[in-house]
Amino acid sequence: MFKFPLAYNTFSKNDEILISKVFREGFLTQGKITQNYEFRLSEFFNSKYAVAVNSGSSANLLMISALIYSKDQSLKLRRGDEVIVPAVSWMTTYSPLIQLGLVPRIVDIDKDTLNISIESIKNVINEKTKCIFAVNLLGHPCEFKELLDICKQHNLILLEDNCESMGAKYDSKYTGTFGLMSSQSTYMSHHISTIEGGFVLTNNEYFRDLLVSLRSHGWARDINQNSRFYSENITNKNYEYLPDDFLFLLPGFNLRTTEINSQLGISQLPKLDDIISIKRTISGEFSIILNKYQNLFSTQIDKYFSSCFGFPIIAKNKRDKDLLKIELEKNGFQTRPIVTGNILSHPVSKFFPGEIPKLKISTLVHENGIFIGNYFPKVSEAVKAFEKSFDLFL
Ligand SMILES: Cc1ncc(COP(=O)(O)O)c(C=O)c1O
């Protein structure tokens, strides 16, 4: 057991009481509580729609699938289309692209923010490029002005994987509200937790309907009959004899959440700001200490408003990284790699089409990166232990 673990638990006695109540009331799968949760999410993040699902990975799968089944010719992905995506993210950012026949065009990250490098994007855009799937890594917002400019100039769709950055802001606007759609995760170790869970944010009504239908078997239930999505899928009068609850429009999935997870989400959401505040304080203290060793180590630069998912450290050389890892663990910190490191350095890279590009910063992060948590009840104790871990480098 580590004194300063990567994951934490913010559930309270009250959550236990609320869940028991849901359980006793008897309707447990996605229903009215989930609708309420979605409403609160959309209000909180100032997005027109929130669609709750059972994980951040499901949110990614749902977004990419919605683009495959879209009949909007300007907002559609087809087999063989290229999607630009950074090399450092989670595997399930890439999985739906590969599974659905798209071509992930993997690019390098920026050395200061660890987010997708704008220069690298410009270098790979070609006539097959249709989408940029930006990832707000570890709480840090991407360069949205540049991303939106590039998308406008080249007619590209912008998607966001915001699974690690709930509550982060760029120009006072929440990350996850810049792209056509964004994914969020409420997995156990994320900013707020519903045990497993996630949701998609979008301002686009047509895509909201696509997401809702694909989430639940592809049925027409929950879709407004006056909507564009409904009418474009009802092409034959005979379908009218089937009730919407049992009318299928698309080959969908079952990615639904449950009322228990949604109830947890409702009680966790108001805690988000305080959680971020503690994370920002601890990351700030860690950064001050790390700064004294800037000839040996660096971290992500907080250019906008980071929700500081955790604390990444990148050593200039591998030997120092190995030494620091031992010291951090000796002082009670649980450590891990920075997200996946470079995804193309994993065995799964054989499933990525095309040649494997050489990516300098992603490789550096892969080889010399360490990650620790930043949410601990005793802040000063954690800061002292962190400082002590560097004594060796004085
Ligand atoms: C960037 C990113 N995308 C997607 C996911 C998947 O989220 P989940 O674990 O809820 O499936 C994660 C998970 O940690 C992630 O870090």
Q: Map the chain to HEC letters.
A: CCCECCCCCCCCHHHHHHHHHHHHHCCCECCHHHHHHHHHHHHHHCCCEEEEECCHHHHHHHHHHHHHHCCCCCCCCCCCCEEEEECCCCHHHHHHHHHCCCEEEEECECCCCCCECHHHHHHHCCCCEEEEEEECHHHCCCCHHHHHHHHHHHCCEEEEECCCCCCCEECCEECCCCCCEEEEECCCCCCCCCCCCEEEEECCHHHHHHHHHHHECCECCCCCCCCHHHHHHCCCHHHHHCCHHHCECCCCCECCCEHHHHHHHHHHHHHHHHHHHHHHHHHHHHHHHHHCCCCCEECCCCCCECCCCCEEEEECCHHHHHHHHHHHHHCCECCECCCCCCHHHCHHHHHCCCCCCCCHHHHHHHHHEEEECCCCCCHHHHHHHHHHCCHHHC
- Is the distance from the beta carbon of residue 184 to the nearest atom of ligand 1 less than 6 Å? no
Residue to mutate (ligand 1; options 60, 92, 186; most atoms within 8 A of CB): 92
Ligand 1 site, residue 37, Cβ cutoff 6 A: no
Q: How far is the CA of 105 from the centre of ligand 1 (A)?
A: 19
Choosing from 140, 190, 191, 366, which is the catalytic residue?
190
From ligand 1's centre to the CA of 161, what distance in Å? 8
What local confidence, expressed as pLDDT, does residue 152 receive? 98
Q: Is 190 a catalytic residue?
A: yes
User: What CATH homologous superfamily does 272-393 map to?
Assistant: Aspartate Aminotransferase, domain 1 (3.90.1150.10)
Q: What is the pLDDT of residue 305?
A: 98
264-267's contacts with Cβ under 8 Å and 24+ in sequence apart are 264/11, 264/15, 264/18, 264/19, 264/193, 264/194, 264/195, 264/197, 265/37, 265/41, 265/52, 265/186, 265/192, 265/194, 265/197, 266/33, 266/36, 266/37, 266/40, 267/12, 267/14, 267/15, 267/18
Q: Which two tokens stand for residue 45?
A: 């993040």
**In the chain, which residues fall in CATH 3.40.640.10?**
13-270
Q: Which of 204, 205, 251 is nearest to 230 (CA)?
A: 205
C-alpha 138 to ligand 1 mean position (Å): 11
- What are the pLDDT digits (tens) for 49-88? 999 999 999 999 999 999 999 999 999 999 999 999 999 9
Q: Ligand 1 centre and the CA of 56: distance in Å? A: 5
To test ligand 1's pocket by mutation, which of 57, 199, 336 has the most ligand atoms within 8 angstroms of CB? 57
Dihedrals φ, ψ of 210, to 5°? -60, -45
Q: What is the pLDDT of residue 26?
A: 86
Q: Which of 117, 57, 59, 112 is nearest to 90 (CA)?
A: 57
pLDDT of amino acid 158: 98
User: 267: Cβ below 6 Å to ligand 1?
Assistant: no
Give the per-residue pLDDT at 235. Answer: 78
- Ligand 1: centre distance to CA 238 (Å): 42
What pLDDT, on a 0 to 100 scale, did the predictor assign at position 293? Answer: 98
Task: Please state, in angstroms and rounded to a whole number, the distance separating the CA atoms of residues 137 and 88.
Answer: 8
Q: What residues of the chain score a pLDDT lower than 70?
A: none
Closest ligand 1 atom to Cα of 196: 10
For ligand 1, whether the C-beta of 376 sits within 6 Å is no
Tracing tokens 């991303």 back to the chain, one arrives at: 147
Per-residue confidence (pLDDT) for residue 72, from 0 to 100: 96
pLDDT at 13: 95
| Ligand 1 center–CA 183 separation, angstroms | 9
pLDDT computed for residue 244 by the predictor = 83
Nearest CA residue ID for atom 8, ligand 1: 56
200 pocket-lining for ligand 1 (C-beta < 6 Å): no
The tally of CA atoms less than 13 A away on the side-chain side of residue 163 is: 26
Give the span between the Cα atoms of 350 and 327, in whole angstroms: 35
Phi, psi of 85 (to 5 degrees): -150, 145
Is the CB of 115 within 6 Å of ligand 1? no
Tokens read off for 37: 């949760």
pTM of the model: 0.97
- In the chain, residues under CATH classification 3.90.1150.10 are 272-393
Residues 6+ away with beta carbon under 8 Å from 110: 116, 117, 118, 143, 361
Q: 13-270 domain in CATH 3.40.640.10? A: yes
What's phi and psi for 333, nearest 5 deg? Answer: -90, 130
261 close to ligand 1 (CB < 6 Angstrom): no
Model pLDDT, residue 238: 73
Q: Is the CB of 307 under 6 A from ligand 1?
A: no
198 CB within 6 A, ligand 1: yes
**Å from CA of 317 to ligand 1 middle:** 28
Q: Is the CB of 163 under 6 A from ligand 1?
A: yes
**Number of the ligand 1 atom closest to the C-alpha atom of 189:** 14
Residue 139 structure tokens? 């709480």
